Amino acid sequence: MTTAPVRPRIIVRNSQRKVPVDVRALRRFAERALQQAMKLPQRSRSAFADLAEISATIVSDARMAAIHQRFLSIAGPTDVITFQHGEIIVSAETARRNAGEYRRSPENEIRLYIIHGILHLMGFDDTTPAAARTMAKTQQAILAAATGPQSPA
């Protein structure tokens, strides 16, 4: 008998002050996005199956740059970093900059980064152009499903 995977709990924290973030709304969105992602087949036997909790933390560019340097030895901030133990780190300032470039709201940019992190935890990667296209398409589908009209749970 096959049992459905248990959905981990998702926690959203705002640890920066430069970009306004509605943490409650973002948490509700993250829960819906995770629910949509759980409907996808896992890409690999990742650590996702063993996660009881996913933590998404919104940070400043300065904090992201420090994390980026410490763990990936790359200088400067990036948009999102995912750790396989269930931690997703999102740069609010990078989201705000990229939102302007891609003509999206900073809120939707942050939402995409959270989805991106969830997909990495599920075994998706974006290391090749084909994989990046698949991941981007999946992100957009989850974003649309998680932000569309919600039926009562």
| CB of 12 closer than 8 Å to CB of 56 | yes
User: Which range of residues forms the domain containing residue 110?
Assistant: 9-147
* pTM of structure: 0.90
What domain count does the chain have?
1
* Residue 45 placed within a domain: yes
Answer yes or no: is pLDDT of 51 > 50. Answer: yes
* Residue 113 placed within a domain: yes
Give the chain as a DSSP string.
---PPPPPEEEEEE--SSS---HHHHHHHHHHHHHHHTTSPPSS--GGGG-SEEEEEEE-HHHHHHHHHHHH---S--SEEEETTTEEEEEHHHHHHHHHHHT--HHHHHHHHHHHHHHHHTT---SSHHHHHHHHHHHHHHHHHHHSPPPP-
Tokens of residue 100, six digits: 């302007």
Which pLDDT score, from 0 to 100, does residue 41 have?
75
29: CATH:
3.40.390.30
Confidence of residue 21 (pLDDT cuts 50, 70, 90): very high
Which pLDDT score, from 0 to 100, does residue 152 have?
41
* Residue 132 placed within a domain: yes
* Residue 3 placed within a domain: no
Confidence of residue 151 (pLDDT cuts 50, 70, 90): very low
* Residue 125 placed within a domain: yes
